[in-house]
RNA sequence: GGCGGCGUUGCCAAGUGGUAAGGCGAGGGUCUGCAAAACCCUUAUUCAGCGGUUCGAAUCCGCUCGCCGCCUCCA
């Protein structure tokens, strides 16, 4: 399989360094609710991980929480709660969002505040090697001039980066692009002891430290949004490679395109965002996933209700084809669908840098074949199993909407009564029952084998 | 200014040299008491524009136009 590597700007054949794929994805700073931009990124990497496993790899997947930083401190102060309490609350909220989207949990979620010793070890190592220096107030900065290939990930050199820089010049720093590894605490801020001052880690250093600690000096895949390429990931490379002396720190850098709202990217700082919570009130998690995976992960995607609606309808077709929860007898005729060919088409698409859009195309092709074969009395069980299997690689459950168990006997009863009415050709009354149930979002379908019903798409 | 990317049918979206996947929508049909679901047919001679390379280009090259991201925190 091939993966597009941001570092080289090319698709490269993928081969893990060791027995298992070591994968690190930048997590969130838990200070506010997660939005669908987060959903997009984590769904994409969830699918990458699921697919790698589908292809027979063992994957070790690590994701961090930046549970201490300026924003958390500010926000906590405004809310009048301790920073850790705010972070804790938002982490819980994050998990509930991700779980709702059927995103599998990482193998570990290290937190910056719990990795201080490792962070200090890395910073000290960088100082010892001349890659970092302490300033008057006890902060420590990375010396970008000490890294000859600084800028290689964003394909810029120091001069180019500097010329467009909007960053303020700080008299403490040797170079404007030097960045904080350790920030000395101001009075009242959370702080940890260190050889340089009471303070807290800079934003970038935690990822290097955690990656080193949990995955080793060289890892296979490091992922995140394209907005993290500079400065975050650039700085991670500088720190990690300067510390270990080993290159490359990351063998495949993967970055997803950013979600847009209309014509601009969704962003916390711009205040334009839609929360996961809001989206899941209106659409199923399967639809959200299908919508996101319908375009290529490296392209920007515009959030739209039309797109979610389309995904929702398409999903219904996949559900129906997969069996739709109905109790149907297997057709009598032997299976005719070439499941191997479909599986290979799916793999062919996904092997090409996770081309989920094309892979989804193979799912719809399969759905059509299943429906056609089923109407001809062919046994479609194996094909349905494949459909569920492949959909599962994309994290689609194809689950029907559920209705409370309490209501089911009553619905069954009404359906039975209507069946009697239909036998007596009492169409008007029968139709009344059907439309009445439809009002309650119960959809009736009269099939040759009898009437079946399912939950519709109205919101509860 | 530097770096990166995008512009494909009504909408969304694959496709990076061999003659335009797929989804949604729309129209027609089959099935049905009528529906629903499903299936069948139709819906881009054309890929922002203009040149060039090639037997052949949406795909490669050049230019033009339009749009976006990054160079500050951000998935």
pLDDT tens, position by position, A159-190: 888 876 666 667 788 999 999 999 999 998 99
Of residues A419 and A456, the one with the higher pLDDT is: A419
Beta strands in A257-375 (DSSP E): 259-261, 264-265, 301-303
What is the value of ipTM here, to two decimals?
0.96
* B15 C1' to A71 CA distance, Å: 43
Task: Point out which residues pair with A20 in neighbouring strands.
Answer: A58
Question: Cα separation of A302 and A227, whole Å?
Answer: 16
Average pLDDT of chain A, as a whole number? 92
A85-89, A167-171, A382-386: which range is least confident on average? Answer: A167-171
Q: Which nucleotide is nearest to A444 (CA to C1')?
A: B36
Contact A268, A237 (CB under 8 A): no
Q: Which nucleotide is nearest to A355 (CA to C1')?
A: B14
Task: Give the residue nearest to nucleotide B35 (CA to C1').
Answer: A445
Residues sharing a CB contact under 8 Å with residue A237, sequence separation 6 or more, in sequence order: A152, A153, A248, A249, A250
Question: Cα separation of A9 and A298, whole Å?
Answer: 12
Q: Which nucleotide is nearest to A154 (CA to C1')?
A: B3
Residue A134 has which token pair? Answer: 């302490």
Q: What is the mean pLDDT of residues A286-295?
A: 97
* B37 C1' to A342 CA distance, Å: 24
How are strands ordered across the β-sheet holding A179-184? Answer: A132-134, A140-142, A179-184, A199-201
Using alpha carbons, list the distances in angstroms from residue A385 to A293, A354, A356, A388, A454: 21, 22, 19, 5, 21
Percent of chain A at pLDDT exceeding 70 = 94
* B43 C1' to A371 CA distance, Å: 23
* B15 C1' to A162 CA distance, Å: 39
Q: Which nucleotide is nearest to A298 (CA to C1')?
A: B5
* B22 C1' to A77 CA distance, Å: 50
- Please identify which residue in the block is written with the tokens 């793999």: A347
A224: alpha, beta or left? (left if phi > 0; alpha if psi -120 to 50)? left
Task: Point out which residues pair with A180 in neighbouring strands.
Answer: A141
* B5 C1' to A259 CA distance, Å: 14
Q: Which nucleotide is nearest to A443 (CA to C1')?
A: B36
- pLDDT tens digit sequence for A128-166: 999 999 999 999 999 999 999 999 999 988 988 887 666
Task: Point out which residues pair with A184 in neighbouring strands.
Answer: A199
Residue A148 has which token pair? Answer: 């000859």
- pLDDT tens digit sequence for A336-359: 999 999 999 999 999 999 999 999
What pTM does this model have?
0.95
- Please identify which residue in the block is written with the tokens 């794929």: A21
A91-100, A114-123, A248-257, A273-282: which range is least confident on average? Answer: A273-282
Contact A67, A190 (CB under 8 A): no
Q: Which nucleotide is nearest to A362 (CA to C1')?
A: B22
Which bases of chain B are under 7 A from a protein CB atom? 1-6, 11-16, 21-25, 32-40, 67-75
* B4 C1' to A84 CA distance, Å: 37
Contact A154, A161 (CB under 8 A): yes
């Amino acid at each position: 399989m091939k993966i597009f590597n941001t570092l080289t700007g090319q698709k490269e054949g993928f081969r893990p360094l060791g027995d298992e794929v070591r994968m690190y994805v930048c997590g969130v700073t838990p200070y506010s609710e997660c939005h669908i931009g987060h959903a997009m990124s984590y769904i994409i990497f969830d699918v990458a991980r699921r697919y790698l496993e589908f292809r027979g790899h063992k994957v070790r997947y690590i994701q961090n929480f930046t549970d201490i930083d300026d924003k958390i401190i500010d926000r906590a102060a405004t809310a009048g709660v301790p920073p850790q309490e705010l972070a804790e609350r938002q982490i819980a909220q994050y998990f509930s969002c991700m779980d709702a989207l059927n995103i599998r949990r990482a193998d570990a979620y290290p937190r910056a505040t719990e990795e201080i010793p490792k962070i200090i070890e890395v910073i000290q190592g960088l100082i010892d090697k001349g890659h970092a220096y302490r300033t008057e107030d006890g902060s420590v900065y990375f010396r970008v001039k000490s890294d000859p290939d600084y800028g290689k990930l964003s394909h810029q050199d120091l001069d180019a980066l500097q010329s467009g820089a909007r960053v303020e010049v700080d008299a403490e720093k040797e170079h404007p692009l030097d960045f904080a590894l350790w920030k000395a605490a101001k009075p009242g801020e959370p702080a940890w002891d260190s050889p340089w001052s009471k303070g807290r880690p800079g934003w970038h250093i935690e990822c290097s430290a955690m990656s080193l600690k949990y995955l080793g000096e060289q890892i296979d895949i490091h992922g995140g949004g394209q907005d993290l390429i500079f400065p975050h990931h650039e700085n991670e490379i500088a720190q990690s490679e300067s510390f270990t002396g080993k290159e490359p720190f990351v063998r495949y850098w993967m970055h997803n395109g950013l979600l847009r709202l209309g014509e601009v990217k969704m962003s916390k700082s711009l205040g334009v965002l839609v929360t996961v919570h809001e989206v899941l009130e209106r659409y199923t998690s399967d639809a959200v996933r299908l919508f996101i995976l319908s375009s290529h992960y490296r392209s920007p995607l515009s959030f739209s209700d039309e797109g979610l609606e389309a995904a929702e309808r398409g999903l219904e077709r996949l559900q129906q084809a997969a069996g739709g929860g109905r109790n149907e007898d297997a057709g009598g005729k032997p299976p005719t669908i070439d499941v191997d060919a479909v599986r290979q088409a799916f793999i062919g698409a996904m092997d090409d840098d996770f081309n989920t859009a094309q892979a989804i195309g193979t799912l719809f092709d399969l759905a059509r074949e299943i429906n056609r074969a089923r109407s001809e009395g062919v046994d479609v069980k194996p094909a349905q199993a494949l459909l569920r299997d492949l959909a599962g690689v994309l994290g689609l459950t194809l689950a029907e909407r559920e209705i409370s168990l309490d209501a089911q006997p009553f619905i069954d009863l009404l359906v039975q009564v209507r069946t009697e009415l239909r036998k007596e050709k009492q169409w008007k009354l029968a139709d009344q029952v059907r439309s009445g149930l439809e009002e309650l979002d119960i959809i009736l379908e009269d099939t040759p084998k009898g009437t079946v019903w399912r939950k519709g798409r109205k919101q509860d």
